[in-house]
Structures are given as C-alpha cells and as structure tokens.
Structure 1
C-alpha cells in the first residue's frame, strides 16, 4: 500500500487542493480544475479515499437530469484535523483546525517564564489534553507550530527569537518525542502565507507578501506561489529596512513597545486594552498611526521590490483603530516608486481574530495539501 501511495503522489496534492477549492464536485470537474486527466483523478481520488482524506458522496444525476449519474467527492473535514500551536511573546495558543480550515477549538495559556523548555512543556500538556478530547474516529494529521523569529523549517528548530531569547531550540524533536505526533515548525509569517494561499486572500496569487506587525515585525515573500526561506532562514527580516526610516528603531514599533509607551501615562491590562482604548479614540490612537506611517514606508519598499499581486498586512490596529488604514495607504502612495494603489494591493488578513491559529495550522496543512499521500505515510511510520 505504501509503495502505491508514493507512486500516486505526483498529482495527489493537485486533486486534494482542487476539492478544497471546489467543495464537493464530480471527478470530471475536479480534473478540469486541477489540470490533470480524468484517469489521474480517478486513480488519485481512490488513493485519497483509502487514505481517509476524501469521501465519496451518494450518486446524483447529471446536469438537468441528463447523462450518466456521478458520485461527487469531498474532503472528509469531520474526520481529519490538525493541532495548531502558536508561541507568542506572552502566551501559547493551542487550537484544533479541520482540513477545510474551520477552527473547532482554541485556548490560550500565559507563559510562566520565557525559558524554552518551560514553554514547550506547557505545549505538550495542552496538546495531550486537546488530543484526548477528540472523538476516536477523528484522525490527527499532524501538529503545526508557528513562532516568530528565524526558524529552520527543515529541522524544525528555532534558530533565534530575539524577544523570547531563544537560540537553536529543537522544537520539532522535543515535541514529537513527547506527543507522538508528526510535528512541523515554521515562522509565523511564512506560515500565514501558507494559510492565506490555502483558505484566504492569496489563493491563486503567484506573487505575494505578508507583512506582520506585532511583537515581532517581519515579512514573508512568495514568488511563483513558493515562500522564500533563504539559506540562513532569515528571508523577510526587515530590521535594517526599518533602520532607514531614522525615526523609530525596530524595538520601538512592536506591540510590547506600544504597551510600554501607553503605560507611562496609564494602567492597561495587556495590549488588547491599549487597542481598545485607541479604537475608542483615546490618545493611544496616535501610537498606532505613527507606527502605520513608518510601516507604510516599509510596505512601499516591499511592494516596489517584487510588485506583488497582493500584500496581506497584519496589524492589530489596522481595522479597529480609526485612521490606521488611512495612514498605511498614504505612506504607500507617498513612497512607492511604481505607483502602487494600496486599495488594490494591500489587504487585511482573511482570518480576523484567528490569524495566528490559522498560521500554525497552515504549517502542517500546506504540507498535507502539497504532498498528501507522503504525509499520510509519514504519519503511519
């Protein structure tokens, strides 16, 4: 069985992705959408059904009741999930996401310390608990971990995380040994590209950028649909680019810096309280607008660099704080030399309130949809 699955794998991802895009559909429609022959869809769909990723639906008549009946195929979303873990500056988020991209469960646990193995032990505890609560017939296809900083996705290690002060932490090895699950690890920004490509704004985009503005500020770039990582795992690092503004250092732009600034004049119970005060028109609003003006210049430079079809901008003030979107747009218009119209290029995330959960899920789901049968084999080993 494993050998046949491996032989079938060259276009299995195209078939599975087509079914994701289409919903339930007959094999002939899937073939046209995936750009493969009907015979290939028949072969691949059989393997994907055997692997538990697709289901065959009851026969239905042809269009208008004319022609041979067909049996549509669909994702078995109810039977297949991934566990998603995002490691942020102050907390971990653990979630269950099905292969259709629906978030079924989500919980957060604050860090007790920033020590890497304290945090990873907390991840292990919650992953075990979440997995134990899933129904017996639900298959866990993997554990995806997203984190800021420089990440070696090939080895599953965090090379460097400046805020948490992690260096060379073998996240995949540690979590896999303690959960028994196949573990995939990547930077949250690259992972967000994958999630947006599968389920959101970047579906079908050949060239794209995700610009993440949070406690960690970085970017991810995809060309021809492939996310660039680089030999030093640092593609998307924009600290030097930020330094050219001569107004703010990188550390003055992060969420933690805005929180510290707000707390010089008042007491706030975490960064969400600062966002809420700014959204209500408080003086904190200007912090977000100042940041947007600087990051808008960075967005303009990135847009000029690759002329993308879309730039997904993640900034917690973008939608909620009045004037922030306008500040970004004005900066891009002023500084983009190719004359990019921000209204046509810059978009908010498809996943408001769920960005980091979907990023973590995207780490493993992009592997599943790229090479589904090998992923199944790898899990079975």
Structure 2
C-alpha cells in the first residue's frame, strides 16, 4: 500500500477549498473557508491565490460579518472549464457540454447505438468536433479568454451495464447488442485526445443529482432510474456504491408479488416486465390500447399511454397503475434494504409516466414492513429526461474536482 504524497495532500486540500466555494451560490469568504475546512489560514490563502490565477474562482465585492473588517467574497467561475457527457441510451446517443455547475452550454442527439460500436464511437468523436467548432465560430470564450479546446477537461460516458469501471469496458449489455467487451474509454480517448471516464447510467444519474447539493456526512440516497430498463443506485455521504463488480443496483428481476407472465429468467412477475418501456408498450398493443404512432420515440409513446390512462382508457389505466404498483413494491423492498434518508425517482421515461403512476408508487412503498423512526422522503428528479448525459458529464467533474473522489 502506497503512502499519500505531499502532492496528493496538496491537491486534495485544493479540491476541498474549491468544493466549498462551489457549494456557496452567493459566494463565501476566505475566513469562512478556513473555518469550514480546518485548514490553516496560510494554506487557504495559497490555494485561493492559485485558483484566482487560474481563473476558476473570482472575487465579488466584500461582506462584513460582525465587527471584523470587510472580507472579500470568493465565487466559482462556472464557465472556467467545460466537460462533455455522452449517454449511450438504447433509444439514442445524447451528447452535452456543460460548465462546472452542469449548466448546459450545448447539446446534440444522435441516432441510437448500432451493432457497430467502433462506428458509433467515430460518430460521437466527429459530433464532438463539430460541436466545439460551432462554439469556436460563435466566439465562445472563458471569462479569461481561453477557447473551448483549452477549457474542455474531458468526457464522461454513461452506459447500461454491466460494465468494468476499472478497465473502461462495456462488458455484455443486454440493451446494447454488439457492444460486448467494448473498450469505449480507450477508443474514445484515442479518437479525441481527451481523458474519458465510464460508469453505469444509473450511477451517473445519481451523481448528477448530488453534484449541485452538498451531501450531509453519512446521508444515504437511493435513486430509481426509469429508462429503457429499470435500475437503481445508492450513495452514502456523496459516494456512489458500485459493489465488487460494479453490478450494484441491478433490480430488474426483483419479484413484485403481482400476477404476471413468465420472465426470461424463469421466474414470474419480475419488476422489468412491468417497468421496461418496451414491455409496457408491447402489453398495451396486446390489449388493443390505441397508442401513438410506433415511429415516435418511446418516451413520447409512453406519454401518450399516460394521457390515455388519465382520460379513462381502462387498458391504459391498468398498465400505468400496474407500473406504479410494481415500482412501489420494489421501492418498499429497497427502502428496507438500504434504509435511505431520501429516494429520488428519475430517468428518461419517468416524466412520461409520473402523472398517473406516482400515486400508486407512494401508496405501495409506504406500506412499510418495518416500523421506522422517520418517514423516508420520496422526490422526483429535477434534472429532466437528459439526466443520463448530464450525469455522464458530472462523472468526470466528480472524478476531477471532488475531494471525496481523491480519498
């Protein structure tokens, strides 16, 4: 086991200071940074000077607290650096470029991943080049005058699992046929010249939720991801739990207790039979529900299904309510397992189903098996249906700028 060098400690201290300033939307003072981090005044002063010189933070007037002399306010400069995020969703490839607060600078949507992953990586790299060229032509610059190529730190990639985070390989994803053992990190790095990180889309989505809000020490957050498939992620104190093989959170085959068809795994009424977008639409067609045009994206067809349910179509209503009951039953189990402080439900398909399904989710999940000292807070994600791409970008920010990621 290697010891931590002074360089490691210096970097972690710098990230501690930057993290505190980032989480202060109205700015903070150097003395407050000293108080909150426990670092010496001299150490904080040196770090602040370096961050100011690099244009990552700026001064924004002064503030007087108590009887002391006015203190200079320090604020993050969000557009000092940029990061790209790529989400390999089965329905489309999403690409975003965001700033340090994950505000979107630009975004693109490409056709769904094909059975030719090498060709898809070429498409992603070409689109990233085109996007940065457009920003050049539009005159985009950081506040201190650097262009987009100088500001772009790297790329985060979010993919359905299973994946190998350490090797940067998409292992054998049932939702991405043809991508077995694809070294996406190595390939994308070779084509762009930028550092690349990879994680599951469920973990990426949770990381995006946590990036803008400080996580209290020890707080457990459970995220339910409603996309082409169903997944979950858990964080404790701001750190996402991956498990021994990055397979934590695979919940598609949890039993629901409902009466249902046989699953491909050999059991009956698995969660994915009620929650996967394609499965929902297939059952709707079998019931003769008048769905929107089959050429429309899945999320739009699911929104149409929910609209029919709200308007009283019996078949549509039953399907969306079964979705909510199955999800609520799974959530009840996960709450018993993880004992979270908060639950966040999101993902590309959630907004389309939430209007009718949420009530059923809450109804079933709150029939607790265990007596709890407090009620678990259940929230809907505020990150929108592009949370996968935003989360992918945040993965890179988390690796580069979070003190927790540096140990």
**Displacement of 1:72:** 2.3
Paired positions, count: 369
* Aligned residue in 2 for 1:130: 131
- Structure 1 pair 305/61, CA: closer, same or farther in 2 (3 Å)? closer
The equivalent position to 1:249 in structure 2, one of 270, 280, 299, is 270
Separation in 1, partners of 2:404, 2:129? 24
- Structure 1 unmatched ranges of 5 or more: 375-381
* Aligned residue in 1 for 2:339: 307
Give deviations 1:154-191, integer Å, cap 9, x for gaps: 22211221111232211100000000111111111111
Whether the 8 Å CA contact 1:195–1:366 is kept in 2: the answer is no
TM-score (norm 1): 0.86
* Aligned residue in 2 for 1:210: 223
The 5-angstrom pairing of residues 27-176 of structure 1 reads 27-52=30-55, 54-57=56-59, 59-60=61-62, 62-63=64-65, 67-111=68-112, 113-134=114-135, 135=140, 137=146, 138=148, 139-165=151-177, 166-176=179-189
Whether the 8 Å CA contact 1:25–1:73 is kept in 2: the answer is yes
Separation in 2, partners of 1:304, 1:262? 32
TM-score (norm 2): 0.81
- Structure 2 unmatched ranges of 5 or more: 261-268
Separation in 1, partners of 2:330, 2:84? 33
Give deviations 1:304-353, integer Å, cap 9, x for gaps: 112111111125345764331110011112254345876x4211113123
The equivalent position to 2:12 in structure 1, one of 10, 15, 34, is 10
Cα RMSD (Å): 2.9
The equivalent position to 2:388 in structure 1, one of 321, 344, 356, is 356
Which structure: larger Rg? 2
The equivalent position to 1:346 in structure 2, one of 378, 389, 405, is 378
**Displacement of 1:51:** 4.3
- Structure 1 pair 161/201, CA: closer, same or farther in 2 (3 Å)? farther
Separation in 1, partners of 2:37, 2:196? 28
Structure 1, 316-325 or 148-157: larger mean CA deviation: 316-325
